[in-house]
Amino acid sequence: MAWTWFHRLGSPPYLYSLAARLTPWFAWPTLVLILGGVYGGLVLAPPDYQQGDGFRIIYVHAPSAWMSLMVYTTMAVAAAAGLIWRIKVAHAVAASCAPIGASFTLCALVTGSLWGAPMWGTYWEWDPRLTFELILLFQYLGYMALRSAFEDLQRADRASAMLAVVGVVNVPIIHYSVIWWNSLHQAPSVMKLAKSDMPATMLIPLLMMFLGFTLFFVTVLLIRLRGEVLTRERSASWIREAVTL
Among 12-20, 25-33, 174-182, 218-226, the segment contacting other proteins (CB under 8 A): 174-182
93, β-bridge pairs:
none
Cα–Cα distance measured from residue 3 to residue 122, given in angstroms and rounded to the nearest whole number: 54
Of residues 129 and 158, the one with the C-beta less far from other proteins: 158
Span of 54-62, 91-99, 165-173, 213-221 interacting with other proteins by CB under 8 A? 165-173
Which residues inside 62-121 make contact with other proteins, applying CB under 8 A? 83
Find the part of the chain contacting other proteins (CB under 8 A) among 1-9, 31-39, 42-50, 172-180: 172-180
Tell me the Cα Rg of the chain.
Answer: 20
Query: HSE of 70 in the Cβ direction (CA atoms, 13 Å)?
Result: 17
CA dist 35 and 57 (Å) reads 15
How many C-beta atoms lie closer than 10 Å to residue 148's C-beta?
Answer: 10
106 versus 193: smaller Cβ distance to other proteins: 106
| Cα–Cα distance for residue pair 184/76, rounded to 1 Å | 31
Minimum CB separation of residue 11 from other proteins in Å reads 21
Q: Does 162 bind other proteins (CB under 8 A)?
A: yes
Residues within window 126-155 making contact with other proteins, judged by CB under 8 A: 135, 138-139, 141-142, 145-146, 149-150, 152, 154-155
Please tell me whether residue 1 binds other proteins under the rule CB under 8 A: no
- Shortest CB 29 distance to other proteins, Å: 34
> Cβ(212)–Cβ(65) under 8 Å?
no
How crowded is residue 244: how many other Cβ atoms within 10 Å of its Cβ? 6
